[in-house]
Amino acid sequence: MARALGRSEALFRLLEIAAEEALLALDASSVSVSRLETGTSTVRTIVNVGDLGPTEVRWPDNEVYDMGEYANLAVLSQDWVPWRAAVDDPGTDGRERLLLQELAKHCAIGSPIVVDGQLWGEFYATRTVDHPDFSSLDLSYLEALMAILGGAISRAVREESLEQLAYRDPLTGLLNRRALDERAAQAFDVAPRSVRTVTVVSLDINRLKQVNDTLGHLAGDQLIQSVARALTSEFSRLAGSLVARVGGDEFTVLVSGHDPAAVVAAADRLCRRTWHSGPGVGVSAGAATAAVTHGTTLTPARLFAEADRAQYVAKHGRLSSTVVANSLA
């Protein structure tokens, strides 16, 4: 795999090569590579290779799995550890067992794909009933393969970064408003009979203008970058979180599928921080949560507006904690 991924390839081609190599290395029946969609609590399958199930295709258009519906995905997103499952294993989650039966497979092995210190996606391999179950040795071998894959993805993403400039803030490298709006629309696209918890945090840097006026715009830019790094570090603990810079001193965080209390706790920790750019320099935060269902009339714009209003209250009250708006349904 290391040799095969050593060449410069476009990301999707690289993932296809990795899946084919892993199929052979693990003696698997099929392999799938999926990407975590930040802000949505879902993983989207990019490529399937091998002996595919009745509903699988090599390049799926809309094969999406909600992490909240699969115990193994939930564990993977929280603990970043590989896992095993089998149809005849009493410890296998019922939903995972049903998926294996739908795919006409007997057992599966899964692993997080970690890129540059953050959860990027999931690797998933299966075997049919005429093959032995995946072993603990397979798990160890898979971890080595994923380390190689993570490095290759990191390189490919950097090489394709120029194509993504339309979605990035040039100063901080965070996603911009355009990307935030697109991901929010995906987060609000919920399957029938499902409910998704979506929380938005609006943050504003206090006294950025004062820093610019007294210390210069370079110091102001450095403050913005420092806050951006702190946001990324804090919210990366909640897998799938999206952090965007939406204005000069304004940031928005989009979190799906996590307890709103955990999101507010992360925002509170940032509110209590101070930056060494003068007295009173910190952030103010407001949060709003919605239980999103299929066909809801609630829009992402309304959720953003509620979080903004809460942030306005926090800023003008000079509060060192997050103001939480009433939950929306």
Query: What are the phi and psi torsion angles at 320 (to 5°)?
Result: -100, 25
Determine the 3-state secondary structure of 152 from DSSP. Answer: helix
Whole-number pLDDT of residue 73: 83
Q: Which structural domains are found in the chain, ordered by start?
A: 4-159 (3.30.450.40), 166-324 (3.30.70.270)
Q: Are 271 and 319 in contact (CB under 8 A)?
A: yes
Phi-psi domain of 50 (left: phi exceeds 0; alpha: psi -120 through 50; beta: other)? left
Q: What is the mean pLDDT of the chain?
A: 90
Render pLDDT for 303-315 as a digit per residue (tens, 0 to 9).
999 999 999 999 9
Mean per-residue pLDDT for 62-74? Answer: 85
Question: CA-CA distance, 97 to 43, in Å (whole number)?
Answer: 18
- Compute, in degrees rounded to 10, the torsion defined by CA atoms 26, 27, 29, 35: 20
Mean per-residue pLDDT for 181-201? Answer: 93
Render pLDDT for 226-245 as a digit per residue (tens, 0 to 9).
999 999 989 988 888 999 99
Question: Which two three-digit tokens encode residue 274?
Answer: 């101070």
More confident residue, 72 or 254: 254
Whole-number pLDDT of residue 311: 96
Question: Which two three-digit tokens encode residue 146?
Answer: 């994923």
Mean per-residue pLDDT for 252-264? Answer: 95
Render pLDDT for 117-126 as a digit per residue (tens, 0 to 9).
888 999 999 9
Query: What are the phi and psi torsion angles at 316 (to 5°)?
Result: -75, -20
Whole-number pLDDT of residue 164: 66
Q: What is the CA radius of gyration of the chain?
A: 22
Strand blocks (E) in the chain: 30-37, 42-50, 64-66, 83-86, 107-115, 118-127, 195-205, 242-245, 250-256, 283-293, 323-324
Mean per-residue pLDDT for 322-328? Answer: 86
Determine the 3-state secondary structure of 225 from DSSP. Answer: helix
Question: Which two three-digit tokens encode residue 144?
Answer: 């080595």
Question: CA-CA distance, 170 to 176, in Å (whole number)?
Answer: 9
Determine the 3-state secondary structure of 199 from DSSP. Answer: strand
Intra-chain end-to-end CA distance of the chain, in Å: 48
> What does the chain come to in residues?
329
Choice among 45-49, 73-77, 175-179, 255-259 with the minimum mean pLDDT: 73-77
Question: CA-CA distance, 206 to 227, in Å (whole number)?
Answer: 11
pLDDT score of 328 more than 70:
no
